[in-house]
Amino acid sequence: MGVVMKIKNKGLYTTVISIGIYLILFTLLPGCGEFNDNPRETEMKITVDISELKKQFGYSSDSDNEDRLGKAVRSISELPETEATSPVKSLVIGAIVITTRDSPYTTDEALTDENMEDIEDDVLNSAAYIGFVNLPATEDTIEFLVPPPSAANWQVAAIGVNFEMEYLEELDETDHDDAVMYYGFTPEFYHHDDIEEDTVLSLTMKRNCLANEEIHPNGCATYSNILSDPPIVTSAVEIVGVEIFTNDETYEIDPSELPIIVRTDDDIIDAKGSLNSFKRNYDLIIGDKLTVITTHSKNPHETDACTNLSDNSSVTVEELKNNCEVQTYKVPITE
């Protein structure tokens, strides 16, 4: 899917524009009243194509109720969890003004519970620039306003929740504390004056594995940001990489110990034990980073080349990485 926008190249272009403005102001000033009839547009809208996001959650607008791979998609009346995915009933997307940090969120970053609380607060405070749609939906686009020039840093972001929304403020209700199943961000901050309406940026969703206290999406494998806490693992996932950053060095776990294939409850226990054993080999401190790299061959909306590997007990890391979408969960140790 894409977000319709363009980021301007600000080198020589900015210089030329500045000179032009100078000439207008100081050579045409006596007659500038005529410009008041056509003030600069202060509201700009972005249109987001959500058709690919809907397919990621198992929905389609196609009349034959199948996606382009010929695989059946879910309807709102039947939202079964698959082994590797969790139901999404509403998609929230828009421009979120970020007020709690100086760097943008990225999809590689596993979000903590504190992160999600900050994001939900920023979503509510950015309500004028946010839209949502209940799934399934026939529309394939969501339109929302760009924040004004006075706004702070903002990102285009999306979250998928496990309940059918009626109003945005429901995100702040206690009943929906663990509602966010997926999230995605454009990887950088934007400003109003950087935007034009003729370029597409992609937005990919990933599982919200770390933040939820009670409900974790299927297909999770990640370390906790709390050093003493166990890893979070749910079915069905393949762990194809583990990296540990400490003492300014990144250490990769021996590939011969991978992949770790998780299918059963016993597999979950074993996977947590393996991830813990990797962690114990290092004297970790606050600020170090733990990364788990995953694939999901049990996801019915992966390519056939990927899903054909799902029951292969001798599948290799290379085969999974080469044929399946790879998702990375990087967790900084915060306590």
Same domain, 248 and 300: yes
Q: Within a domain: residue 4?
A: no
Q: Within a domain: residue 273?
A: yes
Rounded CA-CA distance 288/268 in Å is: 25
Cα 265 to its chain centre, rounded Å, is 27
Same domain, 30 and 60: no
How many residues belong to the chain? 335
Strand partners, 116: none
Q: What is the residue range of 239's domain?
A: 221-332
> What does the pLDDT read at residue 210?
82
- Which among 3, 114, 137 is positioned nearest to 57, based on CA atoms? 137
Q: Within a domain: residue 143?
A: yes
> What does the pLDDT read at residue 6?
38
Same domain, 264 and 302: yes
Same domain, 127 and 263: no
Same domain, 23 and 72: no
From 207, 230, 249, the end of a domain falls on 207
Coil vs helix vs strand at 188: coil
Rounded CA-CA distance 156/146 in Å is: 9
177 — pLDDT class (breaks 50, 70, 90): confident
pTM here is 0.76
CB count within 10 Å of CB 210 equals 22
Q: What percent of the chain stands above pLDDT 90? A: 30
User: What are the tokens at 295?
Assistant: 């694939």
Q: In this structure, what DSSP letter does residue 32 have?
A: G
Q: Which position has the higher pLDDT, 13 or 195?
A: 195
- Torsion, Cα 323 224 88 105, to 10 degrees, reads -80
Same domain, 60 and 160: yes
> What does the pLDDT read at residue 60?
58
- Torsion, Cα 208 264 241 223, to 10 degrees, reads 50
> What does the pLDDT read at residue 21?
36
Same domain, 81 and 197: yes
Q: Which range (22-26, 79-83, 164-168, 187-191) has the least confidence?
A: 22-26
As a whole number, the mean pLDDT across the chain is 78
Same domain, 174 and 247: no
Digit-coded pLDDT (tens) for 178-218: 888 888 888 888 888 777 665 455 677 888 888 767 788 89
Could you give the number of structural domains in the chain? 3
> What does the pLDDT read at residue 202?
63
Same domain, 53 and 171: yes
Q: Within a domain: residue 120?
A: yes
Residue 59 has pLDDT above 60, yes or no: yes
Q: What mean pLDDT is predicted for residues 64-71?
A: 43
241 — pLDDT class (breaks 50, 70, 90): very high
> What does the pLDDT read at residue 197?
60
Same domain, 20 and 108: no
Buried b (16+ CB within 10 A) or exposed e, 273-291: ebbeebbeeeebeeebbbb
- Write the CB contacts of 307 (distance below 8 Å, at least 6 apart in sequence): 297, 298, 299, 300
Q: Which range (161-170, 172-181, 277-286) has the least confidence?
A: 172-181
Q: Within a domain: residue 3?
A: no
80 — pLDDT class (breaks 50, 70, 90): low
Q: Within a domain: residue 216?
A: no
Rounded CA-CA distance 56/79 in Å is: 14
40 — pLDDT class (breaks 50, 70, 90): very low
Same domain, 98 and 73: yes
Q: Within a domain: residue 260?
A: yes
Q: What mean pLDDT is predicted for residues 153-164?
A: 88
Q: Within a domain: residue 213?
A: no
